[in-house]
Each structure stands twice: as C-alpha cells, then as structure tokens.
Structure 1
Amino acid sequence: MIDLQLGFAPLIILLLFVLASSIKILREYERGVIFLLGRFWKVKGPGLVIVIPGLQQMVKVDLRVVTMDVPAQDVISRDNVSVKVNAIVFFRVVDPQKAIIQVENYLVATSQLAQTTLRAVLGKHELDEMLAERERLNLDVQQILDAQTDSWGIKVTNVEIKHIDLNESMVRAIARQAEAERERRAKVIHAEGEKQAAQTLSEAAEMLSREPAAMQLRYLQTLTQVAGEHNSTVVFPVPVELLSALAGGRKAAGGE
C-alpha cells in the first residue's frame, strides 16, 4: 500500500502543478485573448481565468489609456519653412481580439503611424497656421489616426502638439515681421487721428466763418492765454479782416 501511494505521488504533484499553472487572475483593466490549439477562441477577464496548459495560450491586453510621446519630426511647411514638431498621442484598446490578431505590435504600429501622419498633416499647412491654429491641427491628426487604427481595435482619443521648434534665423524673421506689423498699426492709428482732427478743424472753421466776430473773439482769447505765460515777446497774427477794417476806418476819418 505504501508503495502504491508512493507511485501515485508524482502524478498528484504533476496534477497540482498543472492546476496551479492553469489558474490566471486578470485585473479589472486587463483582458485575456485565449487561443485554443493556435486558433482564436474567446476573450476572457477580468477576474479568475482557467487556461489549460498545452492546449490553450493566453495573451494579456491592457485596456487603460496609453500616453505615447511622438519624437520630434522634421516637417517642411507649405511655405517651405523647416521646423521640428513633437506631439503626444492618447489612445486605448477597445477590441483586444483585433489588437492581438490584426497587428503584430499595436504600440509600435501606432507610434510609427502617428509620426508619419504628423508629418503629412503639418506639411500641408503654412507656418502661421501651425502657430495660430494648433487646435484644428490636433483634431485633424486625431481623426486620421483614429480612422486608420480602427481596424486594429484601437481608439485614438486625443492628439496634442507639444512644441514647434524654429531655427534662430526664422525666430528673428518672425520678430521683425511682428515689429513691422506693430509699426503699421501705429501709423494707421496716427493717420486716423489726423483725419479725425482735420475733420473737426474743418467743421470748426466753417462755424467760425459764419460769424466774423467769433473769429476775432477767438484771437483775443488766444492772446489772453499767451499773455498769461509771462513771455517777454509775444508774436500774434493779426487777421486780414481786422487790418482791412482798420484801413477802412482811417480812410473814412481822412475823408472827413
């Protein structure tokens, strides 16, 4: 009897080993793609999963959002400006079966596709659009990536362009352009002010021309203001109408 028990001991140990190796525990964010004799069987998880050794194989898939850094890419814009652009891609696996069966390594494939898509999309735009319309470019890249990775069971949730690196000569050129734009706006504002001032003066001159006495009162008021500054010499223009009036008065007095 003892010999019989000793004979079954290796078999019992083997069964316990097989049973222990067949038990798999998957976390809440994990799924297991099960293959039976090399053929896809089903997706299991989370929780306790039984995998028969030798007959079944399981590949774990993480369903959490993956944050992938896209390396800096050399991009030539539509206006022939060379820049370096890097970005971040956020995606997750929504179909574990496709992510394992349809592509060899979905992480590497998504990274390479993001790099080529980033270069292709930004190359269609000018530098000013890259700097000013970054949100629209993010959406364009995200939609293209999402459409192309859908067959891999991957959902691209967001794409963010982090930095657009320009060379020093281009930075100086942009600074000169911005300075010229500010000078242009300043000149336009100054010219607009001169136009409004000229229009106001024209209206004032028209009003004063209707009443000659108002013009003389204005001259007297200006003389009062200048005299109040304690100047030793006062240069004051005399209206031609006033001189004509004085000359006419003298002639009348001489005739009398």
Structure 2
Amino acid sequence: MVVELLAAGAATLSAGLVYVMSAARVVKQYERGVVFRLGRLHGNAREPGFTMVVPGVDRMRKVNMQIVTLPVPAQEGITRDNVTVRVDAVVYFKVVDAANAIVQVEDYRFAVSQMAQTSLRSIIGKSDLDDLL
C-alpha cells in the first residue's frame, strides 16, 4: 500500500513538473511577450523576466523592442527633371507597441520595408537631381 502511494505521488509530481516546464517562458530584457489565449489577445504585453502561460491554451509571441536596421533594396526612379537615378537606403525603426505590431499588421518588418521603398520612390519622383545629390 505504501509503495503504491509513493509511486502515485512520484507520478503526480513528475506530471506537475512537466506541466510547469512547458508553461514556463523567459522574456529577455529587449523583448515583450504578446500572449494570445485561444486566439484572442490576453492582457498587456508581458514584461521582461520569467512568465507562465497555460500550455495548449496560450500562445506567446515575442517582439524585439530594439532599434532594427533594415536595408532597402536599390530603387530606380526618374527625378522631376527627367534624370534616371538609382538610390539605395537603410531604415532604422523601433517597435513602440508590441501588441499592435503583432495584431494590427500581418508582418510588421515586411510592411516597414514596403513603406520605405514606396516613400523612397515617391521622394525620388518629387526631387530634382541637384537636391538628391
């Protein structure tokens, strides 16, 4: 009887340990964790440090809050004075609201890249060659 009780206690303890290990997450200092419970945004973004999620119910996506350097591919355009130029650029951006970056935009990095390319082409078309140089 005692052996069976000890075996049951050990099984319960190991099952609890597995549950806690699968629920534990660590959010790094430069990240925020956005938690979705059954597909819905759950609360605010998790701050850096140790956090727990409900396995099988919660999903956590981590968002980098550092300044990101994103190269913009070279863009060809015609200036206002009809000169063809080729311009490449670099974009620096930082996520301010982690939940909105995940929920409001499908892929925020791609969106920033596309917006930068569009803006670069627009600026090329509105500028004279002297202004660009």
Give TM-score, length-normalised by structure 1.
0.49
Amino acid at match of 2:37: L
* Structure-1 residue corresponding to 2:13: 12
- Give the Å deviation of 1:8: 4.2
Give CA-to-partner distance per residue, 1:8-46, whole Å, 9 cap, x none: 433322210110121212122110011122110121111
**Residue 98 of structure 1: SS of its match in structure 2?**
helix
Q: Which has the larger radius of gyration?
A: 1
Amino acid at match of 2:25: K
* Structure-1 residue corresponding to 2:25: 24
* Structure-2 residue corresponding to 1:153: none
- Give the Å deviation of 1:71: 1.0
Amino acid at match of 1:120: S
Pairing 1:121–2:123 present:
yes
Tell me the number of residue pairs that the alignment of Structure 1 and Structure 2 aligns: 131
* Structure-1 residue corresponding to 2:68: 66
* Structure-1 residue corresponding to 2:84: 82
Rounded Cα–Cα distance in structure 2 between residues aligned with 1:82 and 1:90: 26
Structure with larger RCO (C-alpha < 8 A, sep 6+): 2
* Structure-2 residue corresponding to 1:97: 99
Rounded Cα–Cα distance in structure 2 between residues aligned with 1:46 and 1:7: 37
Rounded Cα–Cα distance in structure 1 between residues aligned with 2:39 and 2:12: 27
- Give the Å deviation of 1:47: 1.2
Matches within 5 A, 1:184-195: none
| Residue ranges of structure 2 left out of the alignment (5+ in a row) | none
- Give the Å deviation of 1:69: 0.8
- Give the Å deviation of 1:6: 2.1
Rounded Cα–Cα distance in structure 1 between residues aligned with 2:56 and 2:6: 27
Pairing 1:51–2:35 present:
no
**Residue 72 of structure 2: SS of its match in structure 1?**
strand
Rounded Cα–Cα distance in structure 2 between residues aligned with 1:45 and 1:99: 16
Give CA-to-partner distance per residue, 1:203-247, whole Å, 9 cap, x none: xxxxxxxxxxxxxxxxxxxxxxxxxxxxxxxxxxxxxxxxxxxxx
Greater percentage in helix? 1
Amino acid at match of 1:3: E
- Give the Å deviation of 1:83: 1.0
% identical aligned pairs: 45
Amino acid at match of 1:32: G
Amino acid at match of 1:100: I
Rounded Cα–Cα distance in structure 2 between residues aligned with 1:77 and 1:11: 72
Amino acid at match of 1:96: A
Rounded Cα–Cα distance in structure 1 between residues aligned with 2:23 and 2:66: 25
Give TM-score, length-normalised by structure 2.
0.91
Amino acid at match of 1:37: L
Amino acid at match of 2:124: L
Give CA-to-partner distance per residue, 1:128-182, whole Å, 9 cap, x none: 1111xxxxxxxxxxxxxxxxxxxxxxxxxxxxxxxxxxxxxxxxxxxxxxxxxxx
